[in-house]
Structure 1
Amino acid sequence: MAYKVGRCLLRQKLKDAGMTQLQLANKLGVTEQQINKYVNNRQGMSLQVAKNIAVILNCHTDDLYEWVIVGENE
Protein backbone atom coordinates (compact mmCIF):
# COMPACT_ATOMS: atom_id res chain seq x y z
CA MET A 1 0.00 0.00 0.00
CA ALA A 2 1.31 3.46 -0.85
CA TYR A 3 0.35 6.91 0.30
CA LYS A 4 0.61 10.40 -1.09
CA VAL A 5 0.46 13.67 0.78
CA GLY A 6 -2.97 15.27 0.78
CA ARG A 7 -3.97 18.64 2.12
CA CYS A 8 -2.12 20.34 4.95
CA LEU A 9 -3.86 20.11 8.34
CA LEU A 10 -1.79 22.85 9.97
CA ARG A 11 -4.71 25.29 10.21
CA GLN A 12 -6.65 22.83 12.39
CA LYS A 13 -3.58 21.89 14.43
CA LEU A 14 -2.96 25.58 15.19
CA LYS A 15 -6.59 26.03 16.18
CA ASP A 16 -6.45 22.97 18.43
CA ALA A 17 -3.31 24.35 20.10
CA GLY A 18 -4.79 27.83 20.50
CA MET A 19 -1.90 29.29 18.52
CA THR A 20 -1.88 31.82 15.70
CA GLN A 21 0.14 31.64 12.51
CA LEU A 22 2.17 34.60 13.76
CA GLN A 23 2.99 32.87 17.05
CA LEU A 24 4.14 29.76 15.21
CA ALA A 25 6.18 31.85 12.79
CA ASN A 26 7.92 33.59 15.69
CA LYS A 27 8.74 30.28 17.38
CA LEU A 28 10.16 28.91 14.11
CA GLY A 29 12.00 32.08 13.16
CA VAL A 30 10.17 32.44 9.83
CA THR A 31 7.65 34.93 8.50
CA GLU A 32 3.93 34.67 9.03
CA GLN A 33 3.62 34.65 5.24
CA GLN A 34 5.68 31.45 5.12
CA ILE A 35 3.36 29.73 7.61
CA ASN A 36 0.41 30.97 5.58
CA LYS A 37 1.85 29.26 2.48
CA TYR A 38 1.88 25.96 4.36
CA VAL A 39 -1.61 26.46 5.79
CA ASN A 40 -3.08 27.25 2.35
CA ASN A 41 -1.26 24.42 0.54
CA ARG A 42 0.72 26.82 -1.61
CA GLN A 43 4.00 25.26 -0.44
CA GLY A 44 4.85 21.97 1.19
CA MET A 45 6.94 21.79 4.34
CA SER A 46 10.37 20.22 4.33
CA LEU A 47 10.77 17.30 6.71
CA GLN A 48 12.89 19.52 8.97
CA VAL A 49 10.22 22.22 9.15
CA ALA A 50 7.47 19.64 9.70
CA LYS A 51 9.44 18.07 12.56
CA ASN A 52 10.00 21.45 14.22
CA ILE A 53 6.32 22.37 13.86
CA ALA A 54 5.28 18.97 15.25
CA VAL A 55 7.48 19.49 18.31
CA ILE A 56 6.02 22.98 18.88
CA LEU A 57 2.44 21.71 18.47
CA ASN A 58 3.10 18.51 20.42
CA CYS A 59 2.01 16.19 17.62
CA HIS A 60 3.57 13.83 15.08
CA THR A 61 4.78 14.96 11.66
CA ASP A 62 2.20 12.62 10.10
CA ASP A 63 -0.52 14.63 11.85
CA LEU A 64 0.32 17.74 9.82
CA TYR A 65 -1.01 16.34 6.54
CA GLU A 66 -3.88 14.28 5.27
CA TRP A 67 -2.56 11.00 3.83
CA VAL A 68 -4.27 9.52 0.77
CA ILE A 69 -3.99 5.84 -0.12
CA VAL A 70 -2.98 5.50 -3.76
CA GLY A 71 -2.60 1.74 -4.08
CA GLU A 72 0.01 -0.98 -4.21
CA ASN A 73 1.94 0.06 -7.29
CA GLU A 74 2.44 3.77 -6.78
Structure 2
Amino acid sequence: MTDLQIGNHLRKLRFLKGEMTQAQLSKNVGVTRQTIVALETSRYAPSLELAMKLACVFDCGVDDLFFWINLEDAKSKYSSDGQ
Protein backbone atom coordinates (compact mmCIF):
# COMPACT_ATOMS: atom_id res chain seq x y z
CA MET A 1 0.00 0.00 0.00
CA THR A 2 1.21 3.50 -0.82
CA ASP A 3 2.36 5.60 2.12
CA LEU A 4 0.17 8.73 1.98
CA GLN A 5 -0.10 11.82 4.17
CA ILE A 6 -2.61 14.66 4.03
CA GLY A 7 -1.12 18.01 3.03
CA ASN A 8 -2.91 21.35 2.97
CA HIS A 9 -2.82 24.96 1.85
CA LEU A 10 -3.91 26.40 5.21
CA ARG A 11 -0.93 28.66 5.80
CA LYS A 12 -1.03 30.09 2.28
CA LEU A 13 -4.77 30.70 2.46
CA ARG A 14 -4.51 32.37 5.88
CA PHE A 15 -2.13 34.93 4.42
CA LEU A 16 -4.26 35.43 1.32
CA LYS A 17 -7.22 36.11 3.61
CA GLY A 18 -5.78 39.29 5.12
CA GLU A 19 -2.93 37.62 7.02
CA MET A 20 -5.33 35.77 9.32
CA THR A 21 -3.56 34.48 12.42
CA GLN A 22 -3.69 30.89 13.61
CA ALA A 23 -5.60 32.13 16.66
CA GLN A 24 -8.21 33.85 14.49
CA LEU A 25 -8.65 30.76 12.35
CA SER A 26 -8.92 28.50 15.39
CA LYS A 27 -11.64 30.73 16.85
CA ASN A 28 -13.55 30.72 13.55
CA VAL A 29 -13.69 26.92 13.42
CA GLY A 30 -13.87 26.12 17.14
CA VAL A 31 -10.52 24.42 17.79
CA THR A 32 -7.34 25.39 19.62
CA ARG A 33 -4.48 27.26 17.97
CA GLN A 34 -2.35 24.17 18.61
CA THR A 35 -4.74 22.16 16.41
CA ILE A 36 -4.20 24.65 13.58
CA VAL A 37 -0.42 24.34 14.06
CA ALA A 38 -0.68 20.55 13.90
CA LEU A 39 -2.83 20.75 10.77
CA GLU A 40 -0.46 23.15 9.00
CA THR A 41 2.52 20.90 9.73
CA SER A 42 0.62 17.76 8.61
CA ARG A 43 0.90 16.18 12.06
CA TYR A 44 -2.89 15.95 12.36
CA ALA A 45 -5.55 14.92 9.86
CA PRO A 46 -8.80 16.82 10.34
CA SER A 47 -12.20 15.28 10.82
CA LEU A 48 -14.58 15.73 7.92
CA GLU A 49 -16.51 18.29 9.95
CA LEU A 50 -13.39 20.35 10.65
CA ALA A 51 -12.24 20.10 7.03
CA MET A 52 -15.61 21.43 5.89
CA LYS A 53 -15.55 24.28 8.43
CA LEU A 54 -12.08 25.28 7.24
CA ALA A 55 -13.19 25.19 3.60
CA CYS A 56 -16.14 27.45 4.49
CA VAL A 57 -13.82 29.99 6.15
CA PHE A 58 -11.72 30.16 2.98
CA ASP A 59 -14.72 29.91 0.64
CA CYS A 60 -13.27 26.93 -1.21
CA GLY A 61 -13.86 23.23 -1.60
CA VAL A 62 -12.33 20.69 0.78
CA ASP A 63 -10.35 19.28 -2.16
CA ASP A 64 -8.93 22.76 -2.86
CA LEU A 65 -7.67 22.95 0.73
CA PHE A 66 -6.39 19.39 1.33
CA PHE A 67 -4.39 17.05 -0.88
CA TRP A 68 -2.46 13.78 -0.71
CA ILE A 69 1.32 13.66 -0.36
CA ASN A 70 2.83 10.38 -1.54
CA LEU A 71 5.65 9.84 0.98
CA GLU A 72 7.28 7.10 -1.13
CA ASP A 73 7.69 9.52 -4.04
CA ALA A 74 8.98 12.26 -1.73
CA LYS A 75 11.55 9.90 -0.16
CA SER A 76 12.83 8.72 -3.54
CA LYS A 77 13.02 12.31 -4.82
CA TYR A 78 15.09 13.46 -1.85
CA SER A 79 17.37 10.43 -1.89
CA SER A 80 18.12 10.90 -5.62
CA ASP A 81 18.78 14.66 -5.27
CA GLY A 82 22.11 13.99 -3.60
CA GLN A 83 23.46 11.89 -6.50
Flag whether TM exceeds 0.5 (same fold): yes
Normalized per residue, which structure has more strand? 1
In 1, the alpha carbon distance for the partners of 2:55 and 2:16 equals 13
The CA RMSD over aligned residues, in Å, is 1.8
Query: In the alignment, which residue of structure 2 is the partner of 1:45?
Result: 46
Instruction: Tell me the CA shift for residue 33 of structure 1.
Output: 0.5
In 1, the alpha carbon distance for the partners of 2:69 and 2:31 equals 29
Aligned CA distance change for structure 1 residues 43 and 68 (closer, same or farther; 3 Å): closer
Indicate the structure (1 or 2) with the bigger Cα radius of gyration. Answer: 2
Q: How does 1:5-16 map to 2 (within 5 A)?
A: 6-16=6-16
- Match of 2:35, SS? helix
- TM superposition score normalised by structure 2: 0.68
- Match of 1:37, SS? helix
Identical positions, percent: 35
- 2:17 is aligned with 1:17: yes
Q: Given that residues 7 and 69 in structure 2 are in contact (C-alpha distance below 8 angstroms), is that contact kept between their aligned partners in structure 1?
A: no
- Match of 1:52, SS? helix
- TM superposition score normalised by structure 1: 0.75
How many residue pairs get matched?
A: 66
- Match of 1:43, SS? coil
Normalized per residue, which structure has more helix? 2
Give a deviation string over 1:22-56, Cα, whole Å, max 9, x none: 10101112110011100111101111101001101
Instruction: Tell me the CA shift for residue 68 of structure 1.
Output: 5.6
Gap regions ≥5 residues in structure 2: 71-83
Runs of 4+ in 1 over 3 A off after TM superposition: none
